[in-house]
Amino acid sequence: MTKIETLREPLIGGMNTNYFSERNGMTTLVRVPHENHDLFENIIYEYQFIGFTGDGGRVNRRNPQEQYKFSRKAAQEGLFVLPPMGINNKVIMYPYLDNAMTLDQYCKQPEINKTLLTYTIFSDLQRAHSLGFIYGDRWAGNMLVDPYFGFTHIDFDLEITGQNARELDTAQVAYHLLWSGGTEIIPTAAKMLSRRDELDHAKLHKYMRGLASFLNSTKVGGVINETEAFVQAIEISNKHTKQLW
């Protein structure tokens, strides 16, 4: 792997080490995969706990070529996915978004429009699913807001498959948006999710509750009551929509 090191220290992730390279005044993030069997086993246990694998779902790790093809194709379709710059064997290069914030960091900023953010996130998610893309492994750290790119998904190490993959994908996005943005996001999110008739809402609500319970004692937990209020709001909105028809 050829790269020009900068003064920045590498970012050590759960399944990747991210190096920085500077060329022609542009900073590139160079992602080098590494094995982490303990983390992967913990992820499998989480999906068992919330009921996804019991419903026939599966989780696998995408290899670098699969990650590159997935993110490149999704970006070409106009989805809110950070496009890769290139790949060299097992090494993927991405533009480094120096000014981007994670979803939770962004939601702490004053005077942001959480209604617009919620609409943006769930509109993109519905379109992704309609095109056959399941993002997988969605949490606040994998969803960025950048001054130039806007809302952007990153990190596609994990692939989730099965009949209810869309429901888990949606539950993860919904839960982490709630954890990041607070209950202000519920009215818009509940209305948008209630209109997605192609989803199995019983499974969606099951996974949202499961995530809230499993993550409760972690740094992304503490929103069990808020998650229940979110689920109830979806159910109420769903009943109201059906009554109108």
In this predicted model, what pLDDT tens digit does every residue of 162-218 receive, in sequence order? 999 999 999 999 999 999 999 999 999 999 999 999 999 999 999 999 999 999 999
State both tokens at 24.
């022609």
Task: Return the pLDDT at 149.
Answer: 87
Say whether pLDDT at 3 is over 80.
no
With cut-offs at 50, 70 and 90, classify the pLDDT of residue 244.
very low
**Total count of residues recorded for the chain:** 245
Say whether pLDDT at 7 is over 70.
no
Say whether pLDDT at 240 is over 80.
no
Task: Return the pLDDT at 162.
Answer: 97
With cut-offs at 50, 70 and 90, classify the pLDDT of residue 245.
very low
With cut-offs at 50, 70 and 90, classify the pLDDT of residue 136.
very high
Residue with tokens 């997935």: 70
Task: Return the pLDDT at 11.
Answer: 81
- Summarised one tens digit per residue, pLDDT across range 150-164 is 999 999 999 999 999
Question: What is the separation of C-alpha 146 from the centre of its chain, rounded to a whole number of angstroms?
Answer: 15
